[in-house]
Structure 1
Amino acid sequence: MNEQWIEQNGKSLYVKSEGKGDPTLFLHGGPGGSLDYFLPEMEPLTNSMHVIFYDQKGCGKSLADPSGRYSIRDEVRDLEALRDAMDLEKITLFGESWGSILALSYAVAYPEHVSGLILTAAIGLSSEDHLAFKNALLQKLGFRQKLKFGWYSILSGITDSSRQLERLLDPFYVHSQESLVRKKDISYNREAQKQISRDIESTYDLLPVIDRIQGLPILIAQGSHDILTPAYMEAQILPHLPNADLVEVRDSGHWTVLEKPVEMRGLVEMFMNRSAHFQIFKQGGVGS
């Protein structure tokens, strides 16, 4: 894949891209993760479309902002600067987990530059949905795991206990524990993770401006065993997004790209082609 660093707004963002056609730009989760999460699972898409991956500010190979500040608004501005620097008139955004929040936030800010949205491991439209995600995750933990979670959370203010938290929570992000064997050890920007998470909890609310994207095609591909289930998406999110289609990714947890890469690539291709086959998958779900 072609790789480059794009200098915009005094920041250096690492970008990998390849392929031809309408551009699809992938937004990694975290917050604080990296584009490595999508590779190699999504790389085969470059054979049929123009695919762009990038590391968000201070993540992966992208340099950190000297200010040391991270927020949803800053990430939206960086994404717009990246689109402009790459001379892309319109983009389809693929947002995973925190990336789904970024995709939606960008879309309401710049709907004229968005062709469509593909959201997976979606968190929702407001801080209330984010809180529902956190509460649902905690409910999955047993008594001893909750004690460990609380202890590691306390320690995080004193020392870096992030690895312990990852090892504790990873099994609850997948449907099959065997999937964790394929999980990459991604280096996170913990400061970005903390600051953006706090920003989501305190300011994230797209409901007052959600009408700005009512005309956009949107696909929500939610794992059958995700923390926020397809049923949650149908009850709490779709009423605000009547233009969105919901697909259940069977036998998958939160990390659909990790557990069901073939099915996710197929959904992306069908969404981009607006294929009639997409309606079949929409009605019956995908996966074994």
Structure 2
Amino acid sequence: MLAKIRDTEIFFDVEGCSLVVESHKTYTKPVAFLIHGGPGADHTGYKPTFSALTRRLQLVYFDHRGQGRSARDRKENYTLDNNVEDMEALRQYLGLDKIIVLGTSYGGMVALSYAVRYPQHVSHLIVIASSGSYRFLERAKQILAERGSEEQKQIAQLLWDGNFENEEQLRDYFKVMAPMYSHKYNPNTSVKVWDNKILSIDAINVAFGGFLRTYDVLEELHKITAPTLVIAGRHDWICAPEFSEEIAKRIPSSDLRIFENSGHLIRADEPQALMDVINGFLVYQS
């Protein structure tokens, strides 16, 4: 489905019912916005892992402007600020009040920025494998220098420079870097999560070549009022767990969980444990 909001069209998909009728009672499930990472990817990597949350929530997936199935735009409009404002416009478009906000990686950065700007519309915040500042970039380069192969170091330079030339080159990057993203990566058994994604080189180039180098919301995190769950993977190379620790220290009413057997893709490395922690948080904070 496409929502014509602001100056663009945002693709969104809804999973799970809102109104539930059980025996003699009727109730409405909370709505969660699931914010994908990248930038330059789409929402499909959240499926089917997060589908398990439909027992408790109605899920709204969406693709950022210029990414996935959303409308393309001028490069200068691929900004964190627009991603936040597009999300707010989508909330209004759907006629929602408070929402659960769940973001992974870059989606976590959008989630943090949204919760800082619109705390009154966030009932719960879940930030997975993310960072509150640009400092994650230099740390990721250090970790790659320590753990990565020569091929991985070479292709990652395209990411650091924001210089991917085409989608195939970006797809090759994710294939070469797959063992770095998933702690349990096995070329024979691991789900190849990047094979069927719609990729956008403009979005990722603008982010890593531009605004992510100055991104910093740390001094604003105290504005977040919603109960917050911060999740990290112990072996995450690109958003190292110390950045999740930093986020949790700065947000009132936050809970930090570090998954000891996960890399960046916690949903691939420990999917059931991830769902258990999120469900437990939602039950406890309901």
State the 1:62 CA deviation.
1.1
Q: Which moved more, 1:264-273 or 1:168-177?
A: 264-273
TM-score (normalised: structure 2): 0.84
- Do the aligned partners of residues 15 and 144 (structure 1) sit closer, same or farther apart at CA in structure 2, a change above 3 Å counting? closer
Q: Secondary structure at the match of 1:220?
A: strand
1:13 aligns with 2:10: yes
1:201 aligns with 2:199: no
Distance in 1 between residues matched to 2:108 and 2:204, nearest whole Å: 15
Residue 91 of structure 2 aligns with which residue?
83
Q: Which moved more, 1:190-199 or 1:19-28?
A: 190-199
* Per-residue Cα deviation, 1:166-186 (whole angstroms, up to 9, x for no partner): 222111011112287313211
Residue 117 of structure 1 aligns with which residue?
125
Distance in 1 between residues matched to 2:185 and 2:115, nearest whole Å: 34
Q: Which moved more, 1:21-30 or 1:225-234?
A: 225-234
Distance in 2 between residues matched to 1:201 and 1:252, nearest whole Å: 24
Identity of matched residues, %: 27
* Per-residue Cα deviation, 1:224-266 (whole angstroms, up to 9, x for no partner): 22124445533x3333234321112231110011222222222
Q: Which moved more, 1:28-37 or 1:193-202?
A: 193-202
State the 1:146 CA deviation.
2.5
Q: 1:244 aligns with which of 254, 261, 265?
A: 254
In the alignment, structure 2 segments of 5+ residues that lack a partner are 19-28
State the 1:35 CA deviation.
1.0
- Do the aligned partners of residues 275 and 55 (structure 1) sit closer, same or farther apart at CA in structure 2, a change above 3 Å counting? same
8 Å CA contact 1:9, 1:81 repeated in 2? yes
1:131 aligns with 2:138: yes
Q: Which moved more, 1:110-119 or 1:197-206?
A: 197-206
Residue 192 of structure 2 aligns with which residue?
183
State the 1:153 CA deviation.
7.1
When the two chains are superposed, the root-mean-square deviation of aligned CA atoms in Å is: 2.6
Matches within 5 A, 1:88-237: 88-122=96-130, 124-143=131-150, 145-150=152-157, 156=163, 161-178=169-186, 181-184=190-193, 185=195, 186-213=197-224, 215-227=225-237, 228-231=239-242, 233-234=244-245, 236-237=246-247
In the alignment, structure 1 segments of 5+ residues that lack a partner are 277-288
1:22 aligns with 2:54: no
- Do the aligned partners of residues 41 and 155 (structure 1) sit closer, same or farther apart at CA in structure 2, a change above 3 Å counting? closer
* Per-residue Cα deviation, 1:79-137 (whole angstroms, up to 9, x for no partner): 01001101111111110100000000111111111112111112x21112343234323
- Do the aligned partners of residues 164 and 115 (structure 1) sit closer, same or farther apart at CA in structure 2, a change above 3 Å counting? same
- Do the aligned partners of residues 175 and 34 (structure 1) sit closer, same or farther apart at CA in structure 2, a change above 3 Å counting? same
Distance in 1 between residues matched to 2:156 and 2:216, nearest whole Å: 27
Letter in 2 for 1:210: L
Distance in 1 between residues matched to 2:206 and 2:155, nearest whole Å: 23
Distance in 1 between residues matched to 2:153 and 2:75, nearest whole Å: 35
Distance in 1 between residues matched to 2:248 and 2:270, nearest whole Å: 23
Q: 1:264 aligns with which of 257, 268, 274?
A: 274
TM-score (normalised: structure 1): 0.84
- Do the aligned partners of residues 77 and 138 (structure 1) sit closer, same or farther apart at CA in structure 2, a change above 3 Å counting? farther
Distance in 1 between residues matched to 2:41 and 2:154, nearest whole Å: 26
